[in-house]
Amino acid sequence: MIKINARQQNILARLRQHEDIQIDTIAEYFQVTTQTVRRDVNQLCKAGYARRIHGGVGLPVLLTNTSYQLRSDLQFNVKDTIAKKVADSIPDGATIMMGIGTTVTRIAYYLKTKNRVITNNLQVVKILESNPEIEVYIAGGLFRSQQQDVVGHSVLTFFNSFEADIGILGCAAITESHTAMEHETAEAELSQSILHNSRQTWLVADASKWSGSASVKIASLATFDQIYTNQTNLPQDLPITAIE
């Protein structure tokens, strides 16, 4: 799997907005040669992150969200910084619900205190299996290999049987009206279940979420007790923890 560089991340971000872009347009935007853009595009296509179209590049043909590895590679440094900040804010002994998403997953690497974790995120489970101080409860249901999670009505029932101190979730996109969104109804319902079954709710969302697109509502940003993000120029009445 290739490591996505900064320009390639930006190409993919623009593809999420426009679906396909001409090579000349990309070269002009980044002020580089078309040969440089073609090298970037060829790498992205070889890895399955994009596909060549006549004179340009487009998103791969997928029925659902992008693959877990692609989402994990995008904005890696920012996501890692957010994850560290969140983990440092979790008190010892807290019961935590952790939803899906690559930023949520990275938080698991930095959990050092004794906690109870309730999750449908299989990557979180994998990371925490070597940490004997953390008690992990995993939901059963439909396994999605690309997203590395478990979904379905059984997961909603599972979450409803707990009351967490803190619920941590990500999202696919955030609208101009400051609503957190997901790609699929099943994903949004799971996030809403975490909201309903947690005393405090924290949202993790890097700045790229504001340029993304998704169609299913989770909740207004005002619903959350904390929002960890590197997005700037947000309303002061939102509970923002700024990441630099």
Please say whether the beta carbons of 169 and 209 come within 8 A: no
Q: Is 49 helix (H, G, I), strand (E, B) or coil?
A: coil
Given the structure tokens 């700045």, which residue do they identify?
Answer: 207
Confidence of residue 3 (pLDDT cuts 50, 70, 90): low
| Range in 10-19, 37-46, 92-101, 139-148 with the lowest mean pLDDT | 10-19
Same domain, 112 and 219: yes
Domain that holds residue 17: 6-61
Tens digits of per-residue pLDDT, 32-60?
999 999 999 988 887 667 888 888 888 76
Residues 173, 213 contacting (CB under 8 angstroms): yes
Residue type (1 letter), 197: N
For residue 56, the surrounding DSSP H or E stretch is strand 56-58
| Amino acid present at 92 | D
* Residues 146 and 215 reside in one and the same domain: yes
pLDDT score of 75: 57
- Whether 48 and 75 map to the same domain: the answer is no
Most confident of the following: 4-8, 159-163, 240-244: 159-163
In a 3-state reduction of DSSP, which class is residue 34? Answer: helix
- 20-22/135-138 β-pairing: unpaired
Predicted local confidence at residue 55, as pLDDT: 86
> Which residues lie closer than 8 Å to 113 by C-beta, 6 or more apart?
90, 91, 92, 93, 94, 133
The CB density around residue 165, as the number of other CB atoms within 10 Å, is 16
Angstrom distances, CA of residue 136 to CA of 96, 119, 132: 10, 8, 10
Q: Is 240 helix (H, G, I), strand (E, B) or coil?
A: strand
The whole-angstrom separation of Cα 150 and Cα 190 is 10
Bridge partner residues of 51 (DSSP): 58
Residue 19 CA: distances (Å) to CA of 14, 45, 103? 8, 14, 24
Specify the pLDDT at position 187.
92
Lowest-confidence pick of 80-89, 130-139, 204-213: 204-213
- Whether the per-residue pLDDT at 17 is higher than 80: the answer is no
Q: Based on the domain organization, do 133 and 222 belong to the same domain?
A: yes
For residue 90, give the nearest of 225, 217, 196 by alpha carbon: 225
Q: What is the pLDDT of residues 175-194, one digit of tens each?
A: 999 999 998 999 999 999 99
pTM: 0.70
Tally of domains in the chain: 2
Q: Give me the mean pLDDT over the 85-103 stretch.
A: 94
Are residues 53 and 75 located together in one domain of the fold?
A: no
pLDDT score recorded for residue 65: 47
Mean pLDDT value across the chain: 87
The answer on 220 and 106 residing in a single domain is yes
Instruction: Output the pLDDT for position 63.
Output: 33
Give me the CATH number covering residue 23.
1.10.10.10
The answer to whether residues 100 and 217 belong to one domain is yes
pLDDT confidence bin for 74, thresholds 50/70/90: low
pLDDT (mean) for 235-239: 92
Determine, yes or no, domain membership for 1.
no
pLDDT at residue number 60: 65
Residue in 190, 27, 189 with CA at minimum distance from that of residue 120: 190
Select the more confidently predicted residue: 100 or 200.
200
pLDDT tens string 198-233? 999 999 998 888 877 889 999 999 999 999 999 988
- The answer to whether residue 86 sits within a structural domain is yes
Same-domain check for residues 224 and 161: yes
pLDDT digits (tens, 9 = 90+) for 142-158: 998 777 889 999 999 99
**Amino acid residing at 244:** E
